[in-house]
Amino acid sequence: MGVVRILLAVAALFAGLWPWWAAREKGAKSFPGFVIADTRDAAPEARFNTQVVNPRSPHAKSHSATLAELSDGTLLAAWYAGSGEGASDVAIYLARRPPGGAWSEPEAIITRERFMADLRRNVISLGNPLLLADDSNRLGLLFVSIAAGRWSGSSMNLVWSEDGGLTWGPTRKLTMNPLANLSALPRNPPAPLVGGGWAVPVYEEFLGKFPEILWLQPRGEDLSAAVSRVEGGVYILQASLVPLAAERAVSFFRDFRPAKWMSASWSDDAGRTWSKPVTTELYNRDSGLCAIRLSDGDLLCAFNDVSPGKRENLRLALSNDEGRTWKTVATLAEEPGREFSYPYLIRGNDSMIRMVYSARQTQIVFAEFSEAWLRQQAEAAP
């Protein structure tokens, strides 16, 4: 055995170990913990307001809205719209509402043509946008592009805006799956991480249908992306991730089993591992839901309750035991034959709760209310 061969073998071993060791040296903890919003007093007045964000929409389909607040209080809502789900004319639209102002006319910020020019590859359609906002004016947008088939043929992309969403940089494709990078979708609000970055609840729906967490963390010059599993199998997806403390969090899941109850799972190590999901007592018939933590630690969930048709109402429920039991306190929308779906909740810097959802998958409805209003509804609820 020659010396050269031994040296090459040592070099091969080194080539394997070096990136692994360097990853440790680069710094930030893999699971740094969640940022918990401060628990300052909520707005004292009972306030409730609702508006349609896209009242003059020419599109047959507008769905899967996301919401973010910039540091100056400007609200941004984004959604996908076009002639139909998976259609080639679907684009990602964005509208903004300055503090005290009205919603602007929606503007297409990501189109299929722009995407194909950026990444030099074909795409059938776009969907599921998710806004990422932090204390700076830098704004991220996650969205999916469908390369083949329907949602199971989608992959995730990330673009950045340095001016609060007025202009957007080049698209970056995130690789999250080894099988042709198919099937990865975002849906619910991201959880900010200590030291920067986000834990974004995402899901896959190719062979398995299951929830995961996309970890976006500043490591070096760029934001590193990696995915960890919450639960495998084929029964839950679209997690809503709610940090309870720096190391503790709960995730609620859209459940498509016949039992029709929302599932929940808890983590005590900052999202690294999750308990086996259990069913809660909140109704869920395969519908998107969203939960957030209120200023007193109670949890608020927006969900579709029992109805003759699917998603004919949208209600709010409160929990004071980390999501194990719930009390339905308010109805935001209810009308037979109509659909109200995909709620998306955030808590604003002024402690107001803000929400967007789809009405009949054609209108994006914005609602904002104070915690005082919520408590008032809770007291009046049976």
Question: Cβ 208 to another protein, closest distance in Å?
Answer: 2
- Between residues 66 and 267, which has the closer beta carbon with respect to another protein? 267
CA dist., res. 247 & res. 139, Å (int): 26
Closest separation in Å from C-beta 113 to another protein: 13
Q: Is 237 exposed, middle or buried (0-12, 13-18, 19+ CB in 10 A)?
A: buried
Give the type of residue at 365.
V
> Which residue, 26 or 56, is less far from another protein as judged by CB?
26
- Nearer to another protein by C-beta: 102 or 179? 179
Chain residues binding another protein by CB under 8 A are: 1, 5-6, 8-20, 22-24, 26, 30, 118-123, 147-148, 170, 173, 175, 177-181, 204, 206-210, 212, 215, 217, 219, 224-234, 272-274, 276
Least separation in angstroms between CB 190 and another protein: 17
Pick between residue 1 and residue 102 the one whose CB is nearest to another protein. Answer: 1
Q: Rg (Cα) of the chain, in Å, rounded?
A: 21
CB of 369 to another protein, least distance (A): 36
Min CB(76)–another protein separation in Å: 26
> Cα separation of 30 and 32, whole Å?
6
Output 93 or 266, the one with its CB closest to another protein. Answer: 266
Q: Which is closer to another protein, CB of 17 or CB of 245? A: 17
Q: CA-CA-CA-CA torsion for 310, 322, 141, 54, nearest 10 degrees?
A: 40
Q: How far is the CB of 55 from another protein (least distance, A)?
A: 36
157 three-class SS: strand
- Mention every residue, 6+ apart, whose C-beta is less than 8 A from residue 303: 262, 282, 283, 284, 287, 289, 314, 315, 317, 343
Helices assigned H by DSSP within the chain: 3-25, 112-119, 371-380
